[in-house]
Amino acid sequence: MRYSIHEISSICQVEIINEQIYPGIIDEIYFDTRKGCYSANNLFLALQNTNTDGHDYIHEAYHTLGTRNFFVSKMLDISLFPGANFFLCKD
């Protein structure tokens, strides 16, 4: 199923933290950059656990996999990722 950026924001009750919302459709959701496929229409979940922090892989997801939509749980310098949407989730 495909969702728009606004639908994802509403369904998940998250805050879009970038100033400009970049239009798009979410086709796939992933949390492991080793298993993601190249697409701007993917949504990367920057999950944190005791072993790893998904925020450390945002750079790879953006530059290597072309991802332009991210769920994050902490603020970061989003100016490093032009044209991307960042959704702030509360744990």
Mean pLDDT by 10 residues, the chain (91 residues): 85 85 88 87 92 94 94 93 92 60
| Residue position matching structure tokens 């949407």 | 85
CA dist list (Å): 50 to 44, 53, 54: 19, 8, 11
Give the pLDDT score at 20: 80
Give the pLDDT score at 57: 95
Give the pLDDT score at 3: 87
Give the pLDDT score at 47: 92
